[in-house]
A and B are shown apart, each in its own frame.
Chain A
């Protein structure tokens, strides 16, 4: 009897070791798959075109980074600093507007009892996922008619209505804000708008932080609408520049392309590594609601 259990236990242990090994192997392969393309990109951005032609993959960085930078600067359409600035202006404005007004709207839905509230919330959920593609034709033609093509505001202002974020903010408020706090603020004589700004917003900070990260990254990565709307080179965002990296007239270099790609990816990688804790928990938070 006793030997039997130990045998069983040891076989179980063996199973568990095999199982664990399988897990680690699979995870490591996936991890390599996730990192390898970026690694190739980073390393090749330090190698010359000739080196890349000879061996497209290398584990040792080359010494041609400076030269590649020089070559990249001859590409008139690619200017990382300007692209980042443009992308930053749009993304930061989008983030601020989206986070603030989504919180405000969510607060309106959560706190107050108004007649059309239900219909309104249904609408928010109904249009939650509407992608830019389907409204693009009307949006572009309208911008065209009102001479708003090329206007950055047309990429920024729509963020005021971010249904997805309103939805998540409302979910958060449900758990975090008790209406008694609002009540007591009223008794103290604060007006509604001030109550929201001074009392409710600080409570919402954690949700705002996660949503801000996603709004920022989403806007930063947006290619479709800026590509359609922005015609002037001085207002090109990062993704538009990346898209123009290929097939440049008169000169194209492998090293250059990898470097250009690296310059667009590196800021994101850095920000991600620094904020990964919040991002990963944000992804988790965002979806358990289903």
Chain B
């Protein structure tokens, strides 16, 4: 009923959305299309020649997956795997910590004091510039002199200073640690909000039935907050896929490409000699497809389920009506 009254005003819907649409067209859609185009062209070199589609338009894409001369997997694929690896290893403890802390902080039998303080402190690293954190950790893990080496030496864990940033796994571990350290607070707060949103009567009923803490957590809490967990997962995944600042500033993607994420690969290919804009555009497109896939998943997960059901019913009914009309 309400909507019918508004019909006259519908043009304002368009008018008010115009700035958004314009900005979107200019600053997002155009660059995306342009990137797509560049991926198929000869656009490379410090001063690129006139844009021309390559004879083999997929050349750049093929290069991305071609093995290196030494027979190892291509730098792009390695970058994808590295990115995925860093993300997975950072996300598991991040979600685990988030879940654990959210369960503790919402436990109505054990009232944890100082919750506000803990929340504020846990979220603190998230607010600090990633670039600052990366340089800070680079200095903390400094070799041969640095606070971490200093502490480990005075605790007699190490005899000699250890060059963390020279070795692949430790460097990757540091990147993973920083990512996790920056984000678990955010995950925790999100999950706490979700747990609080669960109908308390469910918990009360479970308690009356004699469920213990662990049972409640696995049988009630986790199933109820599953959508929020998925939301966290997908947003974190998309953020993780475009990870750049920390691995770049901590170790320049090194040592030996151990922390070269796809984003760093794209940057290095286009802003370093021999300035392969086309190659990095092709890489961007593949990343784009992966991210859009993730976004669609997110969209699907977050759609209004009830509304979608109604819509489906409506459509089915209309279809039936039409069929009946035809049949008649």
Q: Do chains A and B touch in the complex (CB under 8 A)?
A: yes
Q: How far is the CA of A126 from the CA of B302 in the complex (A)?
A: 11
Contact B287 A161 (CB under 8 A): no
Q: Which of A228, A265, A273, A276 contacts B132 (CB 8 A)?
A: A265
Please encode chain B, from 290 to 322, with 1 for each CB lying within 8 Å of some chain A CB and 0 for all others. 011011101101100000000000000000000
| With known contacts A30-B122, A160-B20, A290–B228 Cβ distance under 8 A | yes
Least CB distance, A244 to chain B, in whole angstroms:
10
* Interface members, chain A 99-125 (any B CB < 8 Å): 101-102, 104-105, 107-109, 111-117, 120, 122, 125
Contact A108 B17 (CB under 8 A): yes
Q: Which of B14, B27, B36, B295 contacts A129 (CB 8 A)?
A: B295
Q: How far is the CA of A116 from the CA of B14 in the complex (A)?
A: 9
Contact A132 B242 (CB under 8 A): yes
Q: Does A134 make an interface contact (CB < 8 A)?
A: yes
Contact A279 B127 (CB under 8 A): yes
Give the segment of A3-11, A33-41, A63-71 that binds chain B. Answer: A33-41
Interface size class of chain A, counting residues whose CB lies under 8 Å from the partner chain: 35 or more
Note all chain B residues with C-beta closer than 8 A to A90: none
Q: How far is the CA of A116 from the CA of B38 in the complex (A)?
A: 31
Contact A134 B20 (CB under 8 A): no
Q: In the complex, how many residues of chain B place their beta carbon closer than 8 angstroms to a beta carbon of chain A?
A: 116
Q: Does A190 make an interface contact (CB < 8 A)?
A: no
Note all chain A residues with C-beta closer than 8 A to B194: 287-288, 290
Main secondary structure of the interface of A (DSSP, over half): helix
Contact A290 B301 (CB under 8 A): yes
Chain A residue at minimal CB-CB distance from B14:
A114
Q: How far is the CA of A217 from the CA of B190 in the complex (A)?
A: 18
Q: Which of B7, B15, B38, B135 contacts A137 (CB 8 A)?
A: B38
Q: Which of A112, A136, A246, A284 contacts B9 (CB 8 A)?
A: A112
Please encode chain A, from 20 to 45, with 1 for each CB lying within 8 Å of some chain B CB and 0 for all others. 10011011001101110110110010
Residues of B within 8 A of A (CB): 2-3, 5-7, 9-17, 19-24, 26-28, 30-38, 43, 97, 100-101, 104, 109-110, 112, 114, 116-125, 127-133, 135-140, 142, 145-147, 149-151, 181, 185-186, 189-190, 192-194, 197, 227-228, 230-232, 234-235, 238-239, 241-242, 244-245, 249, 262-263, 266-267, 270-271, 277, 280-281, 284-285, 287-288, 291-292, 294-296, 298-299, 301-302
